[in-house]
Structure 1
Amino acid sequence: MRGTMRVVEDGTLSAAPQQQHRRQIHELARRLSDSHNRSRDALSLVPSENRLSPLAQLPLQFDFHNRYFFNEDHDPDFWQFRGGESISDIETEVAYSSLRALSDAPFVNLRPVSGLSAMLIAIAGMGGDPGSTVVCIDPASGGHYATAAVIKRFGFVPAAISVEAGAVDLDGLRKILSSQNVSLIFLDLANSLHLLDVAAVAACLAEHSPHTLLHIDASHTLGLILGGQAPNPLDLGATSFGGSTHKTFPGPHKGVLFTRLPHVSRLIKDAQRVLVSSHHFGATLALGLAAREFEHFGPAYARQVVVNAKRLGAELAQRGFDVARRTDGYTDNHMVWVHVGDHAATNKLAGTLAEAGIRVNVQTENEMPNVSGSVFRLGTNEVTFEGASETSMALIAEAFVAARDGAVDRAAMNHSQARQAFDSPYFYADAGWRPAESSKRI
């Protein structure tokens, strides 16, 4: 039996503290499990998140998640880190072949560990010589908040351009091209109800600055592009595109970059080698499995995402909510913006919805282009992936009404009805792929 002196001698606990420690561990595990179960039942309308399918979740629950893998060429003399030999082809063959097919790009870099990681690699690799100008989208027009700062930290000169209704200010762009040495146009439209007009920018570069590279950060619309619901930027004249893989694309927290040009692939690879060490092997395996499923489900899923977003906007507007409008509707992608009121009112309604099992994304004052005050930035990507149809959008809108009235129970009932109305999900829902529970207990 361990005595209290053993705590001092070897760091172990005596019987009473050991029981207390065990109870604490059990409580942490219980809290995690309870929160996980609530998340599984919740309806998430957050446009920058998505679920993983049961198949794609597997690598994140297995040992590979915590291992390195660098032997992309399967060199028998280069297994510096063992353990991935039997399943590494899920990265080197499945992931690459599926992503090449989906993007119609022969060169795929799946080493970025996030969307921002992909941004760092793209700007560092294609930004040109120190002091060159890199153009990005003004955050006031929906550009990513971090892009200009990243450009500056790499020794380049940031220049911001505005975007209106998906169209870049071409007059402003021509002025920048004529007055500065622009190496890269990095179009990072993060908040928009419109798809970006890439072709017009590519035509402008072809006429005024053909040496300038054009990269499209398609983090939010990647699933729509790979699912054929939005145009492929490479078909429209972009040099490269990419971004995060967990928004409209239902993959893990990773990043990916695509190009059809060998020399651009080399620029990206050279930057990636020094900016990313571990590419998170388990997450990369998950990306490969998600991409393989997406080859089958992607087109139908991407179409339904947009159909649902348009329907959700219309249903909310019909019920008196202040929904941001385009000239010809509410959205042409996965996003719907709803102005609720001041920040306190917005947070209160978000909390009521969360209590009823519906999660929304709150954007505070001046964070969204052309919208004043706090807003809900909604997305239909995750609920669609789970099988939501237009019928579910109407029921979700009813839940918003109930939450606005303070009727949490009624909103929760609408939540349940919306989920019950789901069709089949856009993935293989085979429970047999779930890992067996360990026989060992805490």
Structure 2
Amino acid sequence: MKISTKTNNKGSVYNRTTPVKSSSLEPKIAKFFGAVTQHLASDNLYRKDMLSLTASENYQSFLVRMLSSSHNSSFYSFIPPYNVESAGEEWFFPDSDSRKEITALLRETGKAMFHSQTFDERPNGGSGAEQAVLLATCNRGDGWLHFSAQDGGHFGNEALSIKAGLEEHHFPVDPTTGLIKIEELNTILKKHQNIKLLLLDQSHKLRYQPLAEIKKLLQPDVLLAYDCSHDMGLIVGGSLPQPLLEGADVLIGNTHKTFPSVNKAIIAFADKNHPLFKPVSDWVCPFLQSNSHHELTLPLLISLMEMKVFGKDYAEQTVKNAKAFAKELREQGFNVSGEHFCYTKTHQVHLILDSRQEALKAVSELLPSAGIRGNNIMIPGHNAFGLRLGTQAITRRGMKEEEMREVAKFLAKVLLKKENPTKIKAEVKELLMDFSLFPLAYSFDFLVDDDLGKSLLMEVLSK
């Protein structure tokens, strides 16, 4: 490493031509690097030894993690998903043709996998993607409809809706089946003809909704949007239907839950000529964000290719694991939501506990002490609180139905039998020793020691 000539306030000089060794750094700087390294080492150990059952996180493969480190990570990218006739009068940044080619390859791959005519990878998160759709579709006084918090709806848009002067409505949901009640929805739509947007934004999702039936109820000027943040990986893997083929006009979702990639989001329209395509795109950038973090474009592309190659097997195993997990939890004595439809058809499993306090204590004290991570939520369809658990991350570690039954027994020991969490933590750690974070299942991790992977990493980490 070489550092340009600079004089600090004490008069010391680092010479541009002399490599700086760690021993020549001031003690407080050396201590700083030592502390940061120790924090990172502790976090790596935590990830390695914790059984992650959160439904909203996943593990990125080694290549995906490394590919955000290239030189282009410091530079802007404004490439819109629609054709631009000229560079414009302002904010033109000359750039390499290679970045444009990578973006084009990503978008063509995404369109093919989601059966869409457009693909926008620029949103920096799922909430921003939803907000772009909401703001582009609705004007002050218009109505929109989504899931209530009780039924698993996302929390991110209601405050914005109030501020924008929009009229908010909620889907009517059958508490037993978990499905939208079509006849009651039709009544709402007829009564409130100012509704311009239906946003299926469930975060607590045990099954797929009847999109085709919903689409039949809508007038041509009403947008049907499906948020696939939680089930994106299951959709591209074929375990759930493709929303754009079922009648949705636009697909949105973040890319780090069942889809095991970076913290980004996508927006994909079924029809490139849809009148809201460009307005939604412009709300993403430049209105809501000016930096689309192009350093994540290549990792996202590799993730798409991983899912193209391994997605079917990964999605099928994720759902199989969730079903086996739910069944064993019930056998162990837990109250598992969704009995009417065999508990789950996705990656999620919902445990009903007695109270908000019990659910909070489970995820903040008891389970972490046993080496297990989960989330506490209000359980859809029940006037109760509990745990939202997911199988996508541990499926990436290579676990199958047999291990899921063992994991269910871990939870029973901690939460039902009140056994010592420290003892269970040792059992969890022993189980995880056979399911390391490298190489991950259903990934390109095997390429790291291959000439293809080495060449790619050499360019990414080019000095």
Deviates more, 1:428-437 or 1:254-263: 428-437
Specify the code of the residue in structure 1 equivalent to 2:247. G
- 1:27 aligned partner: 35
Secondary structure in 2 matching 1:192:
coil
Question: Aligned equivalents of 2:315 and 2:411: distance in 1?
Answer: 24
Determine which of 154, 172, 179 is the counterpart of 1:167.
179
Answering whether residue 261 of structure 2 is matched by residue 251 of structure 1, we say yes
Alignment partner, residue 390 of structure 1 = 401
Match of 1:406 among 415, 420, 428: 420
- 8 Å CA contact 1:140, 1:369 repeated in 2: yes
CA contact (8 A) 1:392 1:419 kept: no
Matched, 1:154 2:164: yes
Going from structure 1 to structure 2, the CA distance change for 1:411 and 1:322 (only over 3 Å counts) comes to farther
| 1:31 match: secondary structure | helix
Q: Which residue pairs with 1:117 in the alignment?
A: 128
Aligned ranges for residues 294-309 of structure 1 at < 5 Å?
294-309=307-322
1:139 and 2:160 aligned: no
Alignment partner of 2:445: what SS?
Answer: coil
> Does the 8 A contact of 1:69 with 1:84 survive in 2?
no
Residue 229, structure 1, aligned to residue 239, structure 2: yes
Paired letter, 2:443: F
Give the 3 Å change call, closer, same or farther, for CA 19–249 of structure 1 in structure 2. same
Match of 1:215 in 2: 225
Residue 419 of structure 1, CA deviation: 5.4
Q: Aligned-pair distance for 1:222?
A: 1.2
* Paired residue type of 1:379: G
Say if 2:106 is the partner of 1:102.
no
Q: Give the 3 Å change call, closer, same or farther, for CA 281–340 of structure 1 in structure 2.
A: same
Segments of 5+ residues of structure 1 without an aligned counterpart are: none
Letter of the 1:25 partner, please give it. F
Q: Secondary structure of 1:234's match?
A: helix
Verify the 8 A CA contact 2:234 2:258 in the aligned structure 1.
Answer: yes
Distance across 2 between alignment mates of 1:309 and 1:126: 36
1:412-423 matches, cutoff 5 A: 412-417=426-431, 420=434
What is the CA distance between 1:377 and its match in structure 2? 0.8
Q: Could you give the per-residue CA deviations for residues 248-268 of structure 1, whole angstroms, max 9, x where no partner exists? A: 111111110111212242232
1:19-58 map, 5 Å? 19-58=27-66
1:427, distance to aligned residue in structure 2 (A): 0.7
Residue 218 of structure 1 deviates from its aligned partner by 1.6
Q: Deviations along 1:89-134, whole A, 9 cap, x unmatched?
A: 33221x112211110112111111100011011112222x432111
Residue number among 357, 375, 378 corresponding to 1:361 in the alignment: 375
Higher mean C-alpha displacement, 251-260 vs 353-362? 353-362
Listed one character per residue, the Cα deviations across residues 66-98 of structure 1 (whole Å, up to 9, x for unaligned) are 3322357899989954675445433221x1122
Q: Note the C-alpha offset of 1:229.
A: 0.9
Describe the shift of the 1:199–1:80 C-alpha distance in structure 2 as closer, same or farther (beyond 3 A): same
| 1:319-374 alpha-carbon deviations (Å, 9 max, x no partner) | 222222330311111111123444554444433432343221223xxx33233444
Q: Could you say which residue in structure 2 is the equivalent of 1:429?
A: 445
* Amino acid across the alignment from 2:388: R
Which of 286, 289, 298 is the aligned partner of 2:302? Answer: 289
Q: Which residue of 2 aligns with 1:266?
A: 278
372, 375, 381: which one pairs with 2:386?
A: 375
Distance 2:310 2:259 in 1: 11
Pick closer, same or farther for the CA change 1:187–1:347 going to 2, 3 Å: closer
Q: TM-score, normalised by structure 2?
A: 0.82
What is the identity, as a one-letter code, of the residue corresponding to 1:267? P
Paired residue type of 2:225: H
The percentage of counterpart residues that share the same residue type is 26
Letter aligned with residue 295 of structure 2: G
Q: How far apart in 2 are the matches of 1:305 and 1:284?
A: 26
CA distance in 1, matches of 2:79, 2:152: 39
Tell me the residue number matched to 2:17: none
CA deviation string 1:379-418 (max 9, x = no partner) = 0011112221111101212322343411523443244325
* Matching residue of 1:199: 212
For residues 173 and 30 of structure 1, the distance between their equivalents in structure 2, rounded to whole angstroms, comes to 55
* Distance across 1 between alignment mates of 2:211 and 2:185: 13
Give, in whole Å, the separation in 2 of the partners of 1:393 and 1:163.
Answer: 30
Deviation at 1:9, TM superposition (A): 7.7
Q: From 62, 71, 78, give the equivalent of 2:70.
A: 62
Q: Residues 359 and 84 (structure 1 numbering): CA distance in 2 closer, same or farther, change over 3 Å?
A: farther
For this pair of structures, how many residues does the alignment match?
426
- Decide whether the 8 Å contact of 1:90 with 1:289 is kept in 2: no
Is the Cα contact below 8 Å between 2:350 and 2:379 reproduced in 1? no
Aligned-pair RMSD on alpha carbons? 3.3
Kept after mapping to 2: 8 A contact 1:396/1:415: no
In 2: Cα distance, 1:65 partner to 1:402 partner: 46
Residue 151 (structure 1) shift = 2.6
**Is the partner of 2:349 in helix, strand or coil?**
strand
* Distance 1:215-1:232 versus aligned 2 partners, 3 A rule: same
Matches within 5 A, 1:63-82: 63-71=71-79, 81=93
Range with bigger deviation, 170-179 or 184-193: 170-179
